[in-house]
Structure 1
């Protein structure tokens, strides 16, 4: 991997590493489900990012895999540590209460409750955000309509031809510049 290749006298110091590649992206969801290994369970949790419900299902699956593993205690510790870190990385603002969780198998209900509360909280925040966006859009639409009504009023007042730009500006609340622009637009 060293490019360009080192001189001959340094090649003896070049490390020769062997590795076993597990390419997560090459597995379909069906293939992962068919493999009952802790690693397939971890991949399932990582791929369940599209919803909290899918994440809960993936966690339930990995718990069953860990329960069936001959090295259950050791695997449980490793997977529990990993899942706590994973959830903190996936939802850093969620403030999940995972400090007391020491075993995924034993504390499955605690994790499920945390995920359920997170889902409820996100839905509530989503609704509030939606309402806020709706109000903002409503205000903008109201402002746009009010401006259009003022312009309509200005055009009507301009049709009389007796009022000055200053008088129309005072009557409508628009600036003199806007009145002048509308006067020019009406001439074209």
Structure 2
């Protein structure tokens, strides 16, 4: 049986992010915090990502890098998420994975100069069509109890990078000289010109012989994942050299005039579908306000992130659900 698209996507992204330049551009381009400027990217290396839980489930698919920061290592835990919808309890998963990572660092005696554990940045990179609305801090998933017990509630936040939200955000620059930004632009393209221009930038930026491996990873992703997923009805010739991004760009330029009708039809269909979903969400919000009172932000976020199937299920449940929490439970 052929592998599913999301599995191929998962593996192809891991292949791309096994390259230092991708991780560097991800951090410098999308983590807007001052300490990133202090990272020494000349001292960075990928570390083992295999951690065995009590249930003997491993996490070998996650990406873990360490980068020199001041006088110590900073660990970057990169979790690539390609589910059709967000995981409401991702914060719990992140807490579990970081616990495993820290146990492994203790076994290695990988402490900072002061004898403490090194800092870890947990990143969830998500590229689903719907915007991510799940809690990004485990504290938001634990019921607060007054009287002192709330002091023991865990508090751990992960950094969410939602590709669609990034590309749609005000101030997003299509011309950012950043490999990850170009990949995001291709993934979340508005039209065929977006794809061609971004591929042209990649061909220009990744022209050195030392970048052949990354070029191959990008071309494999483009041919094996992006094109079958986004343009299954279009035929594309295989490139003769899977390290030649210029050849891919030339192929796109040659065939770009054949794309508009098909891409326009696909875009119109996606636009109509999004419009229908927004209308259903708006109607359900009115029902919520009528039965439960004003719709809070957390509920609005869930409505914004829901697809048509989920909205329909909630619409049927509203007649028997006594509380808003019961209604919007998955």
TM range (shorter): 0.3 to 0.5
TM-score normalized by the length of structure 1: 0.46
TM-score normalized by the length of structure 2: 0.29
More helix by share: 1
Q: Radius of gyration: which is bigger?
A: 1
Q: Larger relative CO (CA 8 A, sep 6+): 1 or 2?
A: 2
